[in-house]
Structure 1
Amino acid sequence: MNRTKKITKKFMGKAKKANAKLNTSNKPKYISKAERERLAVLETVETVSEDLK
């Protein structure tokens, strides 16, 4: 690899990483099926305990 290509490759890599940081996704974070079930159980337990009060 010649010197110019090495410098260009290094620069383009840094630019690509910086650009990726700026363009964040609006997609919600992934929650596994087991975690969703656990959260649902916790929510039902809270609603039941509130109903008993």
Structure 2
Amino acid sequence: MNRKKKMNDILKKKVKKANSKLHTSNKPKYVSKAERAKLAEEDNTQELEQE
């Protein structure tokens, strides 16, 4: 019984891993606070150059 359970667990893990790779998240990629500040600064400089 233990051998069957162990094999089933291994196979379930493989299936779960494969399914997780197929699933993509709609969540936006994380951008650090410093990176956001840098992007905001670049936007401000571009707006000033356009005016």
* Pair in the same fold by TM > 0.5: yes
Given residue 26 of structure 2, which amino acid in structure 1 is its aligned partner?
N
Identical aligned pairs, as a percentage? 51
Structure 1 unaligned spans of 5+? none
- What residue is the counterpart of 2:50 in the other structure? 50
Deviation at 1:13, TM superposition (A): 0.4
Alignment TM-score, normalising by the size of structure 1: 0.76
4+ residue runs over 4 A deviation:
none
Given residue 14 of structure 1, which amino acid in structure 2 is its aligned partner?
K
Deviations 1:19-40 (A, max 9, x none): 1112211111111121111100
- Provide the secondary structure at the position in 2 that maps to 1:31: coil
Deviation at 1:8, TM superposition (A): 0.7
Aligned positions, number: 51
Structure 2 unaligned spans of 5+? none
- What residue is the counterpart of 1:11 in the other structure? 11
- What residue is the counterpart of 2:22 in the other structure? 22
